[in-house]
Amino acid sequence: KQEVTQIPAALSVPEGENLVLNCSFTDSAIYNLQWFRQDPGKGLTSLLLIQSSQREQTSGRLNASLDKSSGRSTLYIAASQPGDSATYLCAVSPSNDYKLSFGAGTTVTVRA
Amino acid sequence: DAGVIQSPRHEVTEMGQEVTLRCKPISGHNSLFWYRQTMMRGLELLIYFNNNVPIDDSGMPEDRFSAKMPNASFSTLKIQPSEPRDSAVYFCASSLRIGGASVEYFGPGTRLTVL
């Protein structure tokens, strides 16, 4: 059974600092990995999707890397802003499959 | 598009009552998912529909839970009878799967409290 772990559970940084969020998974036979953002009381918003054949994806200030062999992904958020405060979840799918396995998330607070 | 629409946004009910959660997926999407989120267990997939057909309901916790998708634009998740341990946020998500990876779009969720 795929286990997805996100450490730390919470993170507080001053505005302008770069954020580094970690995700690890136990089974490297994944099809893709996604990073989601969840704001309090809201649903999840997909930020980046990395196919298993890719090493990274970028969108604006966000960059996600994937190392399948070591079972790790990292989400980088450059020059953090208070609006980046949210919970970030990673999720992996085991094959060309619908069953996403989610991590518990990292709750980020960016202090103005 | 308005995105995935869920109703109600909040539901408070008493143990033993029937609860029905509703979802309208994004138009044109062919896949629909119901998830449950709790502090203890995180996000769990309850059931997955593809082209209105239930493909995998192995995540449905008990027979008290049932889900239907009578057409491409509507789905319900029913709990009968409800219990306090069913209290959670229930999310509906939809996607367009044409083989390969697809992004799931989540609704805002229904926060269910069973007293």
Q: What is the dihedral of CA A63, A5, A35, B21, to 10 degrees?
A: -170
Could you please report the per-residue DSSP string of chain A?
Answer: ---EEEE-SEEEEETTPPEEEEEEES----SEEEEEEE-TTS-EEEEEEEETT-SEEEETTEEEEEETTTTEEEEEESS--GGG-EEEEEEEESSSSS--EE---EEEEEE-
Residue B73: per-residue pLDDT: 96
Report in angstroms the alpha-carbon separations of A89 from A44, A103, B29, B75, B79. Answer: 9, 6, 23, 26, 27
* CA–CA gap between residue A78 and residue A51 (Å, rounded): 22
Q: What is the pLDDT of residues A45-58, one digit of tens each?
A: 999 999 889 999 99
Question: From chain B, which residues contact A within 8 Å (Cβ)?
Answer: 4, 31, 33, 42-43, 45, 48, 50, 55-56, 91, 93, 97, 99-101, 103-109, 111
Q: Report the percent of chain B where pLDDT is more than 90.
A: 87
Q: Report the sign of the C-alpha dihedral through residues A97, A66, A26, A37, in that order.
A: negative
Tell me the count of A-B CB pairs closer than 8 A: 52
Compute the average pLDDT of residues B7-23. Answer: 97
Interface-testing mutation among B10, B37, B43, with chain A (most A C-beta atoms within 10 A): B43
Chain A hits for B108, CB-CB cut-off 8 Å, are 41-43
Contact predicate A92/A100, CB 8 Å: yes
Tell me the sheet residues that pair with A49: A34
A16 by Cβ neighbours in 10 Å (0-12 / 13-18 / 19+) ranks as exposed
Interface-testing mutation among A98, A102, A106, A107, with chain B (most B C-beta atoms within 10 A): A98
Pick from A43, A96, A103: CB nearest B100? A96
Tell me the sheet residues that pair with A58: A63
Is the model's pLDDT at B100 over the cut of 70?
no
Residue B2: per-residue pLDDT: 80
Sheet holding A72-77, edge to edge: A4-7, A19-25, A72-77, A62-67, A56-59
* CA–CA gap between residue A65 and residue A46 (Å, rounded): 15
- Structure-token match 């990274």, residue found: A56
- Name the residue type at position B53: V
3-state secondary structure of B8: coil
A44 in B contact zone (CB under 8 Å):
yes
The reply to whether residue B56 touches residue A99, judged by beta carbons under 8 angstroms, is yes
Residue B98: per-residue pLDDT: 77
Is the model's pLDDT at A1 over the cut of 90?
no
Structure tokens at A48: 């980046």
Chain B hits for A99, CB-CB cut-off 8 Å, are 45, 48, 56
The reply to whether residue B48 touches residue A98, judged by beta carbons under 8 angstroms, is yes
